[in-house]
Structure 1
Amino acid sequence: MKARSLAFPEGILKTVLGRGYQIHPEALRLLEAQSEEKVREVLDSFSERYPDAIVIEAQQIEALLEPPPVEQAPETTEFKTTLIGEITQMYDGSGLIQRCPKCDRWIIDNFCMVHSDVEGVWDLRIKARFDNGQERYTLIFKKEVTEKIARLTLAEAKLLGEAATLERIGHAVLGKRFEIGGDKLKSGNNFLVKAIREVK
C-alpha cells in the first residue's frame, strides 16, 4: 500500500507551501495517493517543467504522473545491397586518421573545425572510389572492415605511422575486384561497407 500524506513529516500541503506554491484541492488529492518519494520527484519535476507557475493544477500533476513515452527507433535511410567491381582510387582521409572526441569528425593536427583544439582519437578508415562497370560509388570502410581487408590492426597502424599505413592499405585494395556487401546510403552514391571479399 502506498504511503499517503500522513507519512510526510511535515505533510504534503506544508511541503508544497514551503516551496512557494499554492495547490488546487484536486491536485493535492492526486499527490496524496502517491508515495513520499514519488511526491518529491513530481515536485522537483514541476519546478523544471513549469518554472513560472504559482498554483499547481490537477492537469499538471496528471501530466507529470504519466509514464514517459517510449522512444521509437528512427526509420533507417539506408538499404542493404551487394556490389561487384574494382576499387580504383583512395580519397583523402583514408588510412590512419584522427577524429574529434566530441563530434567524431576527421581532424588534422588535433584541430577540429567545430571544437578547435582537441586531443584527437586514432582510427582506421578507407574512403575509396569503386567502379562496377555501370556506376561509380564512394566506399566508406569503418575500422573493423579496414582492419580485415588490410590485415592490419589499429595498434599496428599506430606503430607503422600514417604514410606506411596508407601504403599498406593501398596495396591491399587498389586495382583489385571485390564483392562488397553493406548499405547504400540515400545521399549520393555513398556505400557503407560491412563485408568484403576479393573475387578473381
Structure 2
Amino acid sequence: MSAPYRIYISDPHVIFREGIKKIINENHGYVIAGESDNWSSADTFFQTSGADMLMIFTIPLKTGIEVALLLRQKHPDLRCVLLTNTSRHPDLFSAMDNGFSGIIHKATSEKEFLHALEIIRTGSTYTSPAINTYLSKRRVTHFPVDDDPVNYKWTEKEIRILRYIGKGYHNDEISRLMNLKIRTIEGHKARMIEKAGVPNTLNLILFALKNKLLSIHDL
C-alpha cells in the first residue's frame, strides 16, 4: 500500500482551508501535511518538514508564485498548485510558464477538485477550464494576450466601490449605500485587488488614480 499523498495548504481564508481539509480527509490516499494563513509560515514549515504538494493562494498572485518557486528550488519533487479566485490575470501565465503542476479556480466543485488532485498526483498538469480558456489564447495566437490590468473590464459596480473606498468609507457603510451584503463588498474588494495586482486597498486606490479609473475629484 502506497503512502498517503501529503498536501500543504497556504491560504489566508480559514473557511476555504477548512473546506479543503474536509474534502481531503474524507478521501483515502490523501493527508493534510500542514496549513497556514500566510506564505512565510509555509516557508518555515518546509524548513523542517515536507509535503508532496503545495497549494498556495496569496494576494497578489505573484507573491504566491514566487514563494512556490523558491520552495521548489529547495525541494525539486514538490508539486506546486496555484489557487486563484480569478480566471483572467497576467500572473496566471507566469504560473504556467514556470511549470506549476496545477492552477485551480477556488470556485471549482468538489468532484472536479478531486479529479484535479488525481491528475496532478500522477505527474500530469491540471488547469481549471475557465482559466485554461484564458491561457489558451496565447497558445493559439503565439502572441501574448493583453495583460494590462487597466484594460480588463472594470464594471460600473467596481468603479462605484472604488469611489467609496477612496472617500474612506468602511465595508459596512458601502454595503448600506449600495444595498449589498458586507461579504459581497469584501468579495468585490478582494477581486479588484487581485485584478489590479496590488497588495492592499491603499495601493488599489493609487492604481485607480494612476490609471485614470478614478480622478482626484472622486475622492
TM range (shorter): under 0.3
Return the index of the structure with the highest Cα Rg: 1
Higher relative contact order (CA 8 A, sep 6+): 1
Give the structure with the larger helix fraction. 2
Give the structure with the larger strand fraction. 1
